[in-house]
Amino acid sequence: MKKIFVVVLGLISTGIVWGQEIDVVPAPVEVKYTGGVANVENELGVVIGSRAFTQAVKKLDPAIKEEAYRLTLTDKGYRIEAMTEIGVIRAKSTLSQLGEGTPACVIFDYPRFTYRGFMLDISRHFRTKDFIIKQIEALATLKINVLHLHLTDAAGWRIQIDRYPRLTSQAAWRVGETWQEWCDRGYRYSTEGAPDAYGGYLTKDDVREILAAADKYAITVIPEIEMPGHSQEVVRAYPEVGCYPTSDDLCPGKEATFEFLEGVLDEIIDLFPSHYIHIGGDEAGKADWHNCPDCQARMKAEGLSSVEELQSYLVRRIETYLRSRGRDLIGWDEILEGGLSPNATVMSWRGTQGGIDAMKEGHDAIMTPGGFCYFDKAQDAPVFEPKAIGGCLPFGRVASYDPEAGIPEECKPYLKGLQANLWHEYIPEPYHTEYMTYPRIAALAETGWSPAGEKKALRERAIKWADSLRDGSLTGKTFKVFDLRAERGQRPESLVPAEHLARGKKVIYTTPWHPSYVAGAELALTDGRRGDWSFADGAWQGFLSDVDVTVDLGSVMPVHYAGATFLSEPGPWIFLPRKVTILLSEDGVAFREAAVIDKEVSGEPDGFVTYGSVLSGQARYVRIKADRYKEWLFVDEIIVN
C-alpha cells in the first residue's frame, strides 16, 4: 500500500502521466524508456560514426544505415548518434515532434525502405517556390526523403530551359484557370503577360532555392520531364518535335525530337543533383505514330513491329543519354511495354503488377498503386468533399497498404519503397494542395519508415502531428489540414446488409454492366451489399449506357415498394439518371408501368439518390429502366418490398 502511494507521488512530482509514451510519426523502430522527463531543448552532443553506434548498426543494409540514428533523451538534454549527417537530420525530425513532458528514453531508429516519396504535380496547377519549400519543411518532419516534381504536362511547362525559351514564354501559360475552364475553352495556350494567361514556371534560381531547402532535410528532389505523351504544350511551342503540329505526343521518328530532349535534359542534369531523372512515359496515345512518315521510317529502320516498341526505342535512347551523363532513369510502368530499357527503375501506378514484372527482370521498383497512393482522390465521403478526380482514399486505406504484400520473395531486394502522388487537375488553390496531402501522407510515411506491422495508435499520433502542423507549432507556418477527427468513415448503409424481397433473386440484364465495374456480376443488384463512398469499391455496378434490368422474384407476390439507389460524382463523370421507370409483370412478357420518377439533373454533385416508389398490386418481375443524363450510371442495389 505504502509503495503504491510513493509511486503515484513520484509521477505527480515529475509531471508525467503513468504509462505515457512518445507520439512520433513515423513510429521509431525501438524506444526504451529510462524514467523521468526529458529536456528536449538542450543539445548535449552529436556524434557521427562512433564505435558504439557503428557496432549497433553493423547488420543493417548500407543504404539504411545512412539514415539510422540513436537519440538519447535525458533530463539534462539530448544526444544524437548516427553514421552520417543524414542520420542526424532524421533524428532531428523525431525531435521536432517532441515537446514538454516527453518521457526520458533512448530511441534507436532506421527506415524500412530507402525511398519514401511524395509527388507534386505543378503542371496542372502551378505552385510557387515558396509554397514548395513550405511543403518540404512539413514532409521532412515525417522523414519523407523524396520530392518528385511533375514539372511538365499538357497543362503547362513549369521549368526554365534557356535553350528553349518558348517552353516558358508560351507553354507555361494556358487559357482557363480550372481544368474545366481550360477544357471548355478548347485546351488553348497563351503567352506570358497576356491578359488571359494562367500559369507560371520555376526559374533556375527558384529551383536552386528549392534544392537548398530540400538538402537541409536530406530530401532528394527528382525532376520529371514527361515524354513522349502528355506533351501537347511542347508540340504547340516547338511543332518540329511532333509528328504533326497538332500532335499530342512527341515524334520518336524525328531526330529533332532527340536533339530537343537531350538539350532539355542537359539543363535539368546541370540543375538537379538527383541521381534519378524521371521521364514520365505514361499514357502516350501514340495515335499519330501509325501514319507519321518519320515514325514509320524509324520503325522500319530499327526493325520495330509496334508503336509500343517505338516508345521503347525512345526510352532506351534517352536512358543511354542519361547514363552517358552519369544519371539513371525512372519511368511510369508503361515503359515496360515494348521492352524495358536496361537500367530503368519502374514506378508502378496501375496497380502493382508493373512493379512486380520489372523486379522479376531485376529492375528496381517504386510502388505507387492508384488504389492506395493516389492522393487526388477525396479522403472522405466525396459527396461532402471538394470536387476531386473521383473515388475515395481515406487515411485508413493509405495506412493499410503494405508494399511487400503479394510481392514474390525473389523480388523484394528490388523493392525500393513507395510514393504518394498528388495530381492536380482538380486542385486549383494552394490551400487545397495541403488539404489533400495532410494528414494522409503521415500514414504513407509510417509505412515507408516504420517496421512492417501493427501501426499502433497511428490515427491518434497523426491527429496530434496534424494539429501541430495546422497551428504552426511544428514548422512555424500554418497549414490547411483535413480534420481526421471529423472523418465520416464508411457510408453507413454499406455496413449493414440490406434485407428485402429481392435479396438473392436473379436479375435479367437487358443492358450489360460495364466490364470495368462488374461488382458482384449478376448478383450485384440483389446481393444486399450497399456501396461505400467510392464508385470503385466493388459494390457499385457501373453502366456506360441506360440501365434496363429485371428482378425475377421467383413467384407472383404482392409488391408494395421498388427502388434503386444511384450515385452522383461528376468528377469521374458519374451522374444520376434523368428518369427512372418501374414496371411490373406477372409473366415477364407483359409489363405495366407502375411508377415514373423524373429528375432535373444538373451535373453538380448530388450524392446518393434513391429513385423509388410505393406500389400496389402483384408481380413476379420488377423491371427498372434508368435513362442516362450522360456518361456513367452507377447502381448498388434494387430494393423490393
Active site residues: 153, 230, 283
Q: Does residue 282 interact with ligand ACM by CB under 6 A?
A: yes
**Closest CB to ligand ACM: residue number:** 282
- Binding at 251: pick from Zn ion, ligand ACM, none (beta carbon under 5-8 Å per type): Zn ion
Q: Interface with ligand ACM includes 332 (CB under 6 A)?
A: yes
From the list 53, 349, 566, 611, which residue makes contact with ligand ACM (rule: CB under 6 A)?
349
For residue 282, the partner it binds in Zn ion, ligand ACM, none, with Cβ less than 5 to 8 A by kind, is ligand ACM
Q: What is the DSSP string of 590-634?
A: S-EEEEEEE----SS--EEEEEEEE--SEEEEEEEEEE-SSSBEE
- Contact between 537 and ligand ACM by CB under 6 A: the answer reads no
Q: Which three cell numbers stand for residue 96?
A: 521536432
How far apart, in whole angstroms, are the C-alpha atoms of residue 181 and residue 177? 6
310/305 Cα distance (integer angstroms):
8
Which residue, 38 or 292, is less far from Zn ion as judged by CB?
Answer: 292
606 binds ligand ACM (CB under 6 A): no
Q: Which of 295-303, 385-393, 438-446, 514-522 is the region at the interface with Zn ion (rule: CB under 5 A)?
A: 295-303
Which of 107/284 has CB closer to ligand ACM?
Answer: 284
- The grid coordinates of residue 152 equal 511538365
Q: Binders of ligand ACM: how many residues, by CB under 6 A?
A: 4
What distance in Å separates the CA atoms of residue 446 and residue 467, rounded to the nearest whole number?
17
List helix spans (H) across 348-439.
353-360, 370-373, 395-400, 430-437
Pick the stretch among 286-294, 356-364, 398-406, 526-534 that binds Zn ion (CB under 5 A): 286-294
Verify binding: residue 629, ligand ACM, rule CB under 6 A.
Answer: no
Does 337 bind ligand ACM (CB under 6 A)? Our answer is: no
Closer residue to ligand ACM in complex, CB, 89/222 = 222
- Residue 394 contact, options Zn ion, ligand ACM, none, Cβ 5-8 Å cut-off depending on partner type: none
**Binders in 112-151 for ligand ACM, by CB under 6 A:** none
Q: In sequence order, what are the residues at sequence separation of 6 or more whose Cβ sits closer than 8 angstroms to the Cβ of residue 284? A: 228, 229, 230, 249, 311, 334
Instruction: Tell the smallest beta-carbon distance from residue 179 to ligand ACM (Å).
Output: 15
Interface stretch with Zn ion, choices 10-18, 293-301, 559-567, 602-610 (CB under 5 A): 293-301
d(C-alpha 283, C-alpha 339), whole Å: 16
- Subset of 216-245 contacting Zn ion (CB under 5 A): 243
* Residue type for position 512: P
Say which entry of ligand ACM, Zn ion, none residue 292 contacts (CB below 5 to 8 A, set by partner kind): Zn ion
C-alpha dihedral over 96, 101, 103, 107, to 10 degrees? 0
Residues 6+ apart with CB under 8 A from 444: 116, 118, 373, 398, 401, 418, 419, 420
Alpha-carbon distance 237 to 257, whole Å?
Answer: 13
Residue 555, all three cell numbers: 413467384
Q: Counting contacts by CB under 5 A, is residue 253 touching Zn ion?
A: yes
CA distance 259 to 244: 17
Interface residues with Zn ion (CB under 5 A) are 243, 251, 253, 292, 294-295
Q: Which residues bind to ligand ACM, rule: CB under 6 A?
A: 282-283, 332, 349
